[in-house]
């Protein structure tokens, strides 16, 4: 199967009350893990890549690897450019074939966020590309994107409705208490805020910063309208830890085909867990 639009994946999730997991990938090995597990569990899946990841792997090469993986499996797979603040770079990726993008202009004033987002939506929709945007600001660190706790703020439900109507985005990332990176203590999610947003906004909602959020909280969020759950940190830590441990105990090992295997196995366990948490297994 070729890449599919994340728009239709999320609309199905919205209709059937589950969430599509969006796993941050970085290279061949992480893509292999995500698509192989998703295929085994018959789950739709989104391969999410931040701008720094796309640039590291090179735009065309990452796209080609993802496309080959999608062609190999008979499940819906989308490649998503995540958390990009650069209008020109988003347009470049769209022109290369990326079918799902996120414009993150949440650090701008509201009216400017609307204007920038609308520009991307107009460009993307003419080319059949899905657009996600963010209203409110998550604290924490997402690779090159750093938001101090004092600068984070929650999504206002009435503003969310106005934002969706003015921009025509396909999905909205909401700030309800999650954060990027590791949590210092158990997060406290504002479920009432999420419920209020869901009652006003009819497009799929997205939960960023889900790594480290207790499973019952994520499931409750899905019940209240979350249709896409982003997972990044919880994949990177076990992968790197397993590779580090292997190299520490196998000092003569030099073959990446061997020392990356433990990392893939550790990551695989997390992907299985998160797919089941999202309720997407068997939904492809």
107 annotated to a ligand binding site: no
142 annotated ligand-binding residue = no
82: annotated active-site residue? yes
Q: Would you say 97 is a known binding-site residue?
A: no
Task: Sort strands 130-135 and 139-142 into parallel, antiparallel or unpaired.
Answer: unpaired
Does 178 belong to an annotated binding site? no
Q: Is 108 annotated as a binding residue?
A: no
Was 232 annotated as part of a binding site?
A: yes
208 is an annotated ligand-binding site residue: yes
| Interacting residues of 33 by C-beta distance below 8 A, sequence separation 6+ | 264, 267, 268, 271
Q: At residue 135, what are phi and psi to the nearest 5 degrees? A: -130, 130
**Is 282 annotated in some ligand binding site?**
no
The catalytically annotated residue of 82, 156, 170, 196 is 82
Query: Any known ligand binding at 30?
Result: no
Residue 112: other Cβ atoms inside 10 A: 11
Q: Is 181 annotated as a binding residue?
A: yes
Q: How far apart are CA 40 and CA 38, in angstroms?
A: 5
Can you state the angle between helices 87-96 and 110-125, rounded to 10 degrees? 20
Binding residues for Zn(2+): 83, 104, 134, 180, 208
Binding residues for dihydroxyacetone phosphate: 181, 209-211, 230-233
Binding residues: 83, 104, 134, 180-181, 208-211, 230-233
Catalytic residues: 82
């Amino acid at each position: 199967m070729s890449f599919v639009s994340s728009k239709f994946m999320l609309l199905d999730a919205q209709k059937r009350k589950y969430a599509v997991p969006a796993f941050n990938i970085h290279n061949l090995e992480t893509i292999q893990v995500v698509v192989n597990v998703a295929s085994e569990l018959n789950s739709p899946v989104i391969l999410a890549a931040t701008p720094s990841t796309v640039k590291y792997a090179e735009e065309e090469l990452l796209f080609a690897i993802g496309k080959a993986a999608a062609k190999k499996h008979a499940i819906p797979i989308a490649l998503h450019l995540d958390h990009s603040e650069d209008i020109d770079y988003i347009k470049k990726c769209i022109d290369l074939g990326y079918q799902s993008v996120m414009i993150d202009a949440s650090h701008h004033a509201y009216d400017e966020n609307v204007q920038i987002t609308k520009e991307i939506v107009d460009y993307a929709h003419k080319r059949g590309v899905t657009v996600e945007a963010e209203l409110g600001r998550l604290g924490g660190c997402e690779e090159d994107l750093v938001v101090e706790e004092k600068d984070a703020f929650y999504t206002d439900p009435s503003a969310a409705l106005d934002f969706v109507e003015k921009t025509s985005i396909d999905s909205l990332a909401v700030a309800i208490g999650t954060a990027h990176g590791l949590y210092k203590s158990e997060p406290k999610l504002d479920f009432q805020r999420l419920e209020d947003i869901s009652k006003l906004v009819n497009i799929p909602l997205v939960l960023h910063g889900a790594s480290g959020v207790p499973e019952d909280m994520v499931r409750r969020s899905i019940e209240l309208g979350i249709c896409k759950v982003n997972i990044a940190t919880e994949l990177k830590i076990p992968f790197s830890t397993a590779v580090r441990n292997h190299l520490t105990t196998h000092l003569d090992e030099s073959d990446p085909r061997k020392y990356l295997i433990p990392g893939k196995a550790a990551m695989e366990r997390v992907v299985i867990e998160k797919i089941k948490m999202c309720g997407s297994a068997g939904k492809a």
